[in-house]
Amino acid sequence: MPTMTGGQALVAALKAEGIEVIFGLPGVQIMHIFDALYNEPEISLITTRHEQTTTFMADGYARISGKVPAALVVPGPGVLNAGAGLATAYANSSPMLLVSGQVPSTDIGRDVGALHDVHDQLDIVRTMTKWSGRVLRVEEIPEAVHEAVRHLKTGRPRPVEVEIPPDVLGSTADVTMAEAEEYPRAAASQPDVTRAAELLAAAVRPLILAGGGVLRSGASQEVTALAEALNAVVITSAGGKGAIDERHPLSGGVSSFGWGTGGDLLPRADVVLAVGTRLAPPQQAVSGQVVINLNADASEIGKTLPVDLGIEADAQQALGQLASALRGKETKGEWGPADAGGARGASERRMRAAAGTQLGFMQGLRAAVPEETIIVSGVTTMAQWTGPAFPIPGPGRYVAHGYMGTLGYGFPTSLGAKVAAPDRPVVALSGDGGFLYGATELATAVQFGINTVTVVFRDNAFGSSKYDQQGRFEGRIVGTEFRNPDFVALAEAFGARGVRVGGLDEAPAAVAAAIAENDVPTVIEVPTETIAPPYGLTPPDDV
């Protein structure tokens, strides 16, 4: 049993669990962890400039790598700063281990004004994590990390947290490492599989609604194979975008604010197999349909919509079981490429009629970037159109904000994605408002050679809020317009490349050029008018 400091035990435990990357920002309570990373070749430490970015980057890394990252922050303000990224990861079922400091263990809960003390830090973090725990003895650190990672790798992946006071990190003890484990995927019960197979085999118009859970489980192949076996169409939620190659003949694309294909296909289905989705309102089936909900999180089943059959299981595992149960069975599915393609065509016609500028930009960008490009869709009005208008050719190529809608996440999250996939192009679509939340991370990007491309739509406004005022508030513009810096000069000040184009039509070529150069991070400033978001326009009928 080696003798270690708490900091060394923590780093050894992270290594034992296979964690390769830490996004962190130092401070007095966690310096023993930093010290344990001195000359540690197996873990990359990426120092950020704000704790919010530690969790945004960890989220981007997790979603693209499928691996578990750690974020490392000081207590109190560090943890609170990390909160928006933690909440975003929680909303997107993205796994990460947040390691946070604490005040000295003798001061916890006493309110004596210890540096960075906030009351009940664990209670604050608990609302944004699947599991969190405090460690008060060096010997218990490996087991706590092991327990945290077990929660990340079983059931629904969501962030977890371990907090360790500085005196524990600094004291020494004989420490035994916990062994990393392989966790079996949760299987569906045989009666559930049999029942689902019967319902799907009898379906004339079976529809698979794939959510983010399909991506987290790595079940894209299984979804595609099942659709082919059943003659089913596949639509995805926004979070599930890319769960099937959106160019596949049975892909109906994304169900999004009435613009995508969901509204065309979903009401026509007789049996809906919803996989890894919350079945949020745009994705809700109509009455008379049989709904099967397969979800890793039992608490989601039946929450927003009554279902005929709920199956708690891992998506990849259960879809494999379903494929076996259907093998050799007669199926009645009649959907075909004409249905999916027809719906995609109708969606495109609607956008061309009412949102031609947005559609044109998305089509131009799609044509300009390689297939393997990872798109990080920020909370800017233009990026909201990626859902219906930017086809994604398979999993691991698209990151969106999910129900948290966290302004400012796009650029920092794209940096984490690029750390996970350094050889692939990563393009963030950001507004001028959102980009400035985390533009300081250009320093991190340049320091660590994280060469992403960021498109900044400059409308000199919190555009979607301004758009809201133009519509709902009779054009009374108040508090939504702002003055911008020169984004080219800003990028250059950090040692990044700044590019200014004349308008939206010139942006795709600039993105392609930046991807080709790939030597420093690039920021492309694109002047625009206020752009209507998908939820701000009503899709036209019958175009």
Binding site for Mg ion (CB under 5 A): 431-433, 459, 461, 463
Measured in degrees and rounded to the nearest 5, phi and psi for residue 430 equal -130, 150
Task: Report the candidate in 298, 455, 261 with the shortest Cα–Cα distance to residue 369.
Answer: 455
In the complex, least distance from residue 17 CB atom to Mg ion, rounded to whole angstroms: 41
Q: Does 387 bind ligand TPP (CB under 6 A)?
A: no
Q: Which of residues 398-457 bind ligand TPP (CB under 6 A)?
A: 405-407, 431-434, 457
The pair of structure tokens assigned to 260 is 């995508």
Q: Which residues contact 230 (CB under 8 A, 6 or more apart)?
A: 200, 201, 203, 206, 326, 331, 333
Q: Which are the contacts of 108, defined by CB distance < 8 A and separation ≥ 6?
A: 102, 134, 165
390 is a site residue for ligand TPP (CB under 6 A): no
- Residues 313-342 binding ligand TPP (CB under 6 A) are none
| Residues 264-283: x where in contact with ligand TPP by CB under 6 A, - otherwise, as a string | --------------------
- Answer for the pair 93, 216: CB distance below 8 angstroms, yes or no: yes
Instruction: State whether residue 333 is helix, strand or coil.
Output: coil
Cα–Cα distance list, 349 to 275, 476, 540, 543 (Å):
28, 32, 9, 6
Asked if 461 touches ligand TPP (CB under 6 A), the answer is: yes
Q: Give, to the nearest 10 degrees, the angle between helix 410-420 and helix 51-65.
A: 50
Select 259 or 335, whichever has its Cβ closest to ligand TPP. Answer: 259
Q: Which does 406 bind (CB under 5 to 8 A by kind): ligand TPP, Mg ion, none?
A: ligand TPP
Closer Cβ to ligand TPP, 5 or 414, answer by number = 414
Least distance to ligand TPP, CB of residue 37, Å:
31
Contact residue for ligand TPP among 53, 224, 283, 381 (CB under 6 A): 381
Among positions 343, 379, 453, 507, the unique one binding ligand TPP when judged by CB under 6 A: 379
Task: Match 């959106």 to its residue by tokens.
Answer: 246
Choose from ligand TPP, Mg ion, none: what does 465 bind? Cβ within 5-8 Å by kind. Answer: ligand TPP
Q: Is 536 in the site for ligand TPP (CB under 6 A)?
A: no
We find the least distance from the C-beta atom of residue 463 to Mg ion, in angstroms, to be 4
Is 51 a binding residue for ligand TPP by CB under 6 A? The answer is no
Cα angle vertex 21, ends 16, 26, to 5°?
A: 105
Distance of CA 218 to the CA centre of its chain: 14
- Complex with ligand TPP: residue 362 or 419, whichever CB lies closer: 362
Residue (338 or 477) nearer to Mg ion, CB: 477
Count the site residues for ligand TPP by CB under 6 A: 17
Among 357, 465, 470, 518, binds ligand TPP (CB under 6 A): 465
Of 152, 145, 177, residue with least CA distance to 72: 145
CA 11 to each of CA 105, 353, 447: distance values in angstroms, whole numbers, following the listed order: 20, 56, 23
Binding site for ligand TPP (CB under 6 A): 379-381, 405-407, 431-434, 457, 459, 461-465
